[in-house]
Structure 1
């Protein structure tokens, strides 16, 4: 390509391929009206920024962050009226630009965008950061400065002598139930929402083993010749195993009676209880433990066998207690994680146990007549488990009868096709058009479905849809935020997270995904103020009181980690 000098008054630009728009010197002031992936793009990816402007026939330039040179130019699209975002926007499409480097977009009268990179493995730091975020959620241990940097803290919640609540079925005694991750912005631990995320984390390890090496995460177990990823997952699995009753059923949660205040873990000293017992927790655990048995078998066969036997016991208990619904007792007000229909949980647990054991009994118990392939916003811990079962069955074609395999494959491809089509017309190129609690996890769970379709049929449009879902999470959204703490130039700073609120450190704990826009805005009753008449895609505030839009949660980080890991492996 030729390199030309172009004179624009007193500005001289060194450009590639012809004369481009003149650009001023890059400053530290960036426009929030240019929304793009603040981390960056793989060289061969579709690359689109969304610009909120009424300017017509306006040019945009890609500017090298180091040299300040304009290296590519294009013209913004015709205006698009996006109702979900409440905006009129234009698209800057620079997909054809593939040179690696660090860049900004510049638009006259709009300004410079946040910086971004184009390179291979561009998402690797966020991928590892999303896993390291789990370390910061560890209960029952101090976080040493060597591993936690400025976020080091004292030990909180050893949970070595937890009282049984009467709802557990036990009137006296205590349970030794240490370790595990804090579930969300609170300090409680929930079996349902430990097992479901573990299932998504384990899926990544099964499909892309050794995505994380020993030492990659700088955690206490680094250097033990086992992947840091498996070390971190085991810390949670160790806790969940302690929550199994002698008869095989699972206690529902380990919690205080009410949520603690915004204090550090070691300052949250209210009595904790083992609360409830039910079918949902037991089946979710059975599914995750059966996966754990497969994942850990090459490294620790005794531990894998322990997980498998526990999974069998929990499943058998659930067969005998198929409709034991958990509801918070009157004196407990922490997260309920309730459910009343356990078809999805039975399918997930049965599928995992069948693949682990090859025992045809588990396959025969699957309710194959009512497999629902449709994804609806809000399909989190209550319904997404059926997809987790489907994914595992599709990964093990040799063990699945042809007729069932074909049905599952057709169903996933059909759903993925429909979701992919939505990305072509939806505001900000993602699949969700109903923004509920944890909408960012909906964006990523739909991406997980499309990712499985890509593993079945390597259609480029599937990969593009998954990548654009991540673009949305990392800045190409109506708020112009990268929703992952510590990543991007405009991340959340005031997440609903007790440690981040109480530790006196400006930056919140890194690697945690904010819940995202929530049009229901349940926390208005608690005094959270949203902009007046705010559009659905903007129903989010960066405020620590906003538990409805800006909390973090294990089952939001798990699809984030999966999708980032998937892209790092498939974008080669």
Structure 2
């Protein structure tokens, strides 16, 4: 034990590990498991996951753009409406800029840095992670043209999906749609407020002016969304068939409030979350998914973190109600709730399975929340999570999160990585317009609207460009996967699939390469 402690001091591990001798014993099981399962290069996965966001950039690309098969696109976005909406992200394999999933992507990237920034930095990727966030927040600043106006979408799915073109060749409609006092969208305003508030925490020390600007926009958007309530997809019809806000807007208002509280320490936002917890469903809904649409589990985990601070004890009863729902979600992921309907589905290979369309989004977001809750338990002096199916330790939660990530990286029945570009075998026919056609930088010859369908879409050849770091929709409920471009339910990737992985990869890389080396 003494030799171990000397090694740990030399490695300069965090005080939370080196100071508590009792924690050493509990780590043995984790390290043994790391050694007994296939080893994946988490640092490489982290690097590649951040490359994906560069592939999804809209607008004028910067000088340091690393994904070289992409070029400038969408340079007239907003022109018809007299507003500059150049920039932001394409959410998936098409070229519509959908505000709701884009904002959730930025929130999750920011949360990854807030929780695991030291590990991202240790892997040499903090600058790229921050750049990924700023590409989104710069766009949100543009899109929030006045206190009660937020531009919600550029382009529409109907005309966009009619064509199969590179983004650099777009001939589809770039009409922009907004929410305002007469056409509210509290869900969109709330999620964008959450994204900008979370990002303001990221920039607080390194760019305080930018952080303050983001916070100003976040506060205005929250007030707008709360005062003029309504679902954004009821006022922007073109969004309804693509990103319908099934959960409504109350979860986004709670989500925005707790992120604003974390960013400002202003009890106005905490009181909002406490006062509305019951009527908005924060302590009522028992949820088994966390996604761009349904934020309750994320809110409940964030609320649980507040219980670790003495200053929040006056709200202890209410926060514990939030926590009980957070634990319901965590237990559901581990299939330790009472009854199958109270648990998430799992494939025979052990992967979280919610639904057939783009299931991996629920895997990455679920693995992130489980990992965050594992850390919360570890900091609570060995407290265990009490599920109906038995008590669960922080180490068991870490192992579950790791199992989901390892499945993504290739430890699965097909031995296939679902993170594109990672490992020896991964999807090569990703449903992605730009990747499936010759790069604009190689051939600037115009490719027409349907020409892409004629010449590229139906091809059985691998995509000429690799969308490195994209997390595709993934296998079905039987761990089966059909790598075809037209199989968009399985082969299309989205920004919000990859975003939660950034923090997980960084934490696992730290455990694999730093802590393990301290022991062996």
Say whether the fold is shared (TM-score over 0.5).
yes
Q: Does 1:436 align with 2:356?
A: yes
- List per-residue Cα deviations over 1:42-77 (Å, max 9, x = no partner): 993637xxxxxxxxxxxxxxxxxxxxxxxxxxxxxx
1:311 match = 218
Q: Name the CA shift for 1:229/1:513 in 2 (closer, same or farther; >3 Å).
A: same
Distance in 2 between the 1:314 and 1:308 partners? 10
State how far apart, in whole Å, the 2-side matches of 1:537 and 1:558 are: 25
2:71 aligned with 1:154: yes
The 1-side partners of 2:264 and 2:43 are apart by 34
Distance 1:446 1:153, change over 3 A: closer
Matching of residue 514 in structure 1 with residue 501 in structure 2: no
Is the aligned partner of 1:234 residue 2:134? yes
Tell me the equivalent position of 1:326: 233
State the Cα distance separating 1:311 from its structure 2 match: 0.9
Q: Is structure 2 residue 4 aligned with structure 1 residue 46?
A: no
Gaps in structure 1 of 5+ consecutive residues? 1-41, 48-94, 98-115, 165-173, 218-225, 519-535
Give, in angstroms, the shift of residue 159 of structure 1: 3.8
1:449-473 residue CA offsets vs partner (Å, 9 max, x unmatched): 2212211223221111111111221
Q: Which residue, 291, 296, 306 being the options, matches 1:380?
A: 291
Which of residues 488, 494, 498 is equivalent to 1:553?
494
**How big is the shift at 1:305?**
1.1
Using the alignment, how far apart are the partners of 1:356 and 1:254 within structure 2?
29
Q: Partner of 1:388: helix, strand, or coil?
A: helix
Matches within 5 A, 1:54-453: 96=36, 117=39, 122-142=41-61, 147-148=65-66, 151-159=68-76, 161-164=78-81, 174-213=82-121, 216=124, 227-256=127-156, 258-259=159-160, 261-277=163-179, 278-327=185-234, 335-339=242-246, 341-366=248-273, 367-369=276-278, 370=281, 371-372=283-284, 374-377=286-289, 379-383=290-294, 385-396=295-306, 397-398=308-309, 400=312, 401-421=315-335, 426-428=346-348, 430=350, 432-453=352-373
| Structure 2 CA distance for partners of 1:566 and 1:438, relative to 1, 3 Å | farther
Which shifted more, 560-569 or 124-133? 560-569
CA gap 1:339/1:240 in 2 versus in 1, 3 angstroms: farther
SS of the residue 2:33 aligns to: coil
Counterpart CA distance in 2 for 1:352 and 1:332 is: 25
2:198 and 2:233 map into 1 onto residues whose CA distance is 24
Which one has more relative contact order, counting CA pairs under 8 Å at least 6 apart?
2
Higher Cα Rg, which structure: 1
Partners of 2:234 and 2:240 within 8 A in 1: no
1:563 counterpart residue number: 504
Q: Deviations over 1:512-564 (max 9, x none)?
A: 0101235xxxxxxxxxxxxxxxxx33464211122222111011111222322
Q: String of CA shifts for 1:219-266, please: whole Å, max 9, x gaps.
A: xxxxxxx72211221011101221114233422211146115332221
Summarize the Cα distance change of 1:431–1:449 in structure 2 as closer, same or farther, 3 Å threshold.
Answer: farther
- In structure 2, the partner of 1:13 is none
The residue number in structure 2 matching 1:66 is: none
Instruction: Say if 1:543 and 1:328 are closer, same or farther in 2 by CA, change over 3 A.
Output: farther
Supply the distance in 2 between the matched residues of 1:187 and 1:432 (Cα, whole angstroms): 29
Relative to structure 1, the CA distance from residue 262 to residue 508 in structure 2 (aligned partners, 3 Å threshold; closer, same or farther) is farther
Higher strand proportion: 1
Moved more, 397-406 or 456-465: 397-406
Whole-Å Cα distance in 2 between the matches of residues 513 and 193 of structure 1? 15
| Matched-pair contact (CA < 8 Å) for 1:375–1:446 | no
1:469 aligns with 2:469: no
Query: Matched residues in 1 for 2:245 and 2:99: separation?
Result: 11
Flag the 1:465–1:213 CA change in 2: closer, same or farther, 3 A: closer
TM-score (norm 1): 0.67
Q: d(CA) in 2 for partners of 1:419 and 1:331?
A: 33
1:252 match: secondary structure: strand
- Equivalents in 1 of 2:30, 2:397: separation in Å? 17
Aligned length: 425
Q: 1 CA distance for matches of 2:196 and 2:371?
A: 24
1:441 to partner: Cα distance? 1.6
Task: Let me know the Cα RMSD of the aligned residues.
Answer: 3.1
- Rounded Cα–Cα distance in structure 2 between residues aligned with 1:347 and 1:335: 23
After superposition, the Cα gap between the structure-2 partners of 1:142 and 1:228, relative to the gap in structure 1 and judged at 3 Å, is closer
